[in-house]
Each structure stands twice: as structure tokens, then as C-alpha cells.
Amino acid sequence: MRRIPNTEYISKITGEGTGIWCTQFTVEEILKTSIEELYAMAEEENGRIIPPEKSAKAQRNFVEFVCDMYEIKHTVSNGIDYLLNKIEEATGSIKLFSKSTLGNEFIKPPRKCVVELIERNIQRGHSSHEENNVVAFELINGGWSDRDISFVFKSIYNEPAGDWGWYSDDLNTAGRHIGTIRAKAINRYSVDKLIQLGICKGDKCSCT
């Protein structure tokens, strides 16, 4: 259960404060301090607030951990938002923002055949310009972050970003194509177009 920091614990039996305060500790304190000392610190209201440390890697590990718990399949090509959606489907417990970055359009989760295209291209370490467009439009329409999209393209090419514009060496920044596509709010490829490109198998695909 979460508590508001720097509030006193209330005894369920007496309904009165226990003298122990909900106290924030740094990771270092938790690692280096005994439980008795931590308790002693919690017996005084110290009012301190420790800003959270944001780690994309820790987030990724935690989300994958939860996926494993619920037997949700995941690969490196699955973005965090996609996996959170899957977790929500499996548990019904997480409420996510449901608007995409394309104004009022609702997020469209990436289609199976496009996800498979991503996985194939990661395997073979290559992707054509048109396939890159398919992937970029799909993920942008799926509400994926710059970071997650960059990660996918970096996973495909597995080399310095160079001048290609699909990702950048700073994974928090998207390649310039991604910014352009976002700005133009381009819709993802139609199923017909995906079939024409040989990416979608039509009737055999769950996206139709």
C-alpha cells in the first residue's frame, strides 16, 4: 500500500498514531542502514522529500518482471506502453492514458503483422526504407514514446545512428524522421497497403 510521505501511521487497533512516520529513505540508506536505525529515523517526522530517480532500465526490468508474473510474452521490440497495455488487459488494474500524441485519436496498438515485421528485421539486422516507415507510423500511432521507437530502430540496426534519421545515439532523442512524421500526424499504413507490401497475410492475420 502506498502512503503519503511524512504522515504518521495510525494503529488499526487503537485508531491512534503509532509514533512511526512514513519516511522516505534513499536507496543508499536502505542498503547501508540497519532496520533498527531506519526505525529510529522513522520515529521523528523529518519532513524530507526525496525526488524519485528515473531509470529507463529499471522501468524496463520491472515491467518485464510483471509481464513474466502474468505470463505475458515480451521481446525487446515491445515498447513500454505496449507492454503496460498488455498488463492492463491481463489484470485490468492499470489505468493508462488513452490518447495518442496525434491529437484526439485513440491509441491503436501495433498490429500483429507489423510487430512480427519488427521482430524479423531485428533478427536479420536490416530493414528497408519503406519498412521503416511502416514501423514508424505504426508505433507513433500506437502512442509509443520517442525513446521506445528509437530503441526499436537501434535494435534493428545495432550500429551507430549515423545520418539515417531513424534513431539517434542518445536514445532519449528520436531520429529526425520520427519528429517529422509526428508533426505531420500521418496515419499508419492501411491493411491493404500492408498486404500489397507482403507484410500482412490478409485473412490469416489477426489485424484484418
> Which of 150, 126, 180, 137 is closest to 77 using CA atoms?
150
User: How many angstroms separate the most distant Cα atoms in the chain?
Assistant: 71
Which residue lies nearer to Zn ion by CB, 161 or 200? 200
Distance, in Å, from the CA atom of 136 to the CA atom of 144, rounded to the nearest integer, reads 10
Q: Which stretch binds Zn ion (CB under 5 A): 11-19, 58-66, 151-159, 200-208?
A: 200-208
Pick the piece of the chain touching Zn ion (CB under 5 A) from 13-21, 149-157, 161-169, 192-200.
192-200
Counting residues that bind Zn ion (by CB under 5 A) gives 4
With contacts defined by CB under 5 A, name the span among 39-47, 68-76, 106-114, 150-158 that binds Zn ion.
106-114
Nearer to Zn ion, 66 or 200 (CB): 200
CB of residue 205 to Zn ion, shortest distance in Å: 3
Contact 166/132 with Cβ under 8 angstroms?
yes
Q: Write down the least CB distance from residue 111 to Zn ion, Å.
A: 5
**Residue carrying the nine cell digits 522501468:** 59
Q: Is 22 in the site for Zn ion (CB under 5 A)?
A: no
Angle among Cα 48, 50, 83 to the nearest 5 degrees reads: 145
Collapse the DSSP code of 17 into the 3-class scheme (helix H, G, I; strand E, B; otherwise coil) and give the result. strand
Identify which of residues 56 and 205 has a Cβ nearer to Zn ion in the complex: 205
Closer of 8 and 116 to Zn ion (Cβ): 116
CB-based contacts of 79: which residues, under 8 Å, 6+ apart? 139, 142, 144, 145, 148, 149, 151, 152
The CA-CA-CA angle for residues 101, 106, 110, to 5°, reads 85
Q: Contact, 77 vs 122, CB < 8 A?
A: yes
Q: Which of residues 108-147 bind Zn ion (CB under 5 A)?
A: 113
Stretch that binds Zn ion, among 87-95, 105-113, 146-154, 182-190 (CB under 5 A): 105-113
CB of 199 to Zn ion, least distance (A): 7
Q: Measured from the CB atom, is 113 or 122 closer to Zn ion?
A: 113
For the bound state, the minimum distance from the C-beta of residue 59 to Zn ion, rounded and expressed in Å, comes to: 29
Binding-site ranges for Zn ion (CB under 5 A): 113, 200, 205, 207
